[in-house]
């Protein structure tokens, strides 16, 4: 719930965010993505991981997106 609240609080005009607030927002989306994967909510997880990557492109976000997309691909084949 806290990560959702952070994303809600900082969801306005992102150009107005300070650097540390911008980093917190990216991390909140990444943590939400991870939490959603643990619940098996893959579509939500992918959305949050992509938001995180858009805000703060890094290796961890990219790898998480790839893993989630692979999982979703396997699920559609089954």
Name which residue leads in pLDDT, 34 or 56.
Answer: 34
Residue 78 has pLDDT above 70, yes or no: no
Q: Assess contact for 65 and 53: CB atoms under 8 A.
A: yes
Which of 7-11, 25-29, 50-54, 56-60 bottoms out in mean pLDDT, i.e. has the lowest?
7-11
The number of C-alpha atoms within 13 Å of 50 and in the hemisphere containing its C-beta is: 8
* pTM for this prediction: 0.84
CATH topology of domain 2-77: 1.25.40
Q: Is 46 exposed, middle or buried (0-12, 13-18, 19+ CB in 10 A)?
A: buried
Predicted local confidence at residue 67, as pLDDT: 96
Distances (CA, A) of 63 to 9, 20, 53, 58, 68: 27, 23, 10, 9, 9
Predicted local confidence at residue 25, as pLDDT: 87
Residue 56 has pLDDT above 80, yes or no: yes
């Amino acid at each position: 719930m806290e990560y959702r609240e952070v994303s809600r609080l900082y969801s306005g005009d992102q150009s107005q965010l300070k650097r540390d607030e911008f980093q917190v927002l990216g991390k909140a989306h990444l943590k939400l993505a991870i939490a959603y994967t643990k619940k098996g909510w893959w579509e939500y997880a992918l959305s949050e991981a992509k938001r995180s990557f858009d805000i703060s492109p890094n290796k961890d976000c990219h790898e998480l997106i790839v893993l989630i997309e692979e999982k979703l691909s396997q699920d559609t084949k089954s």
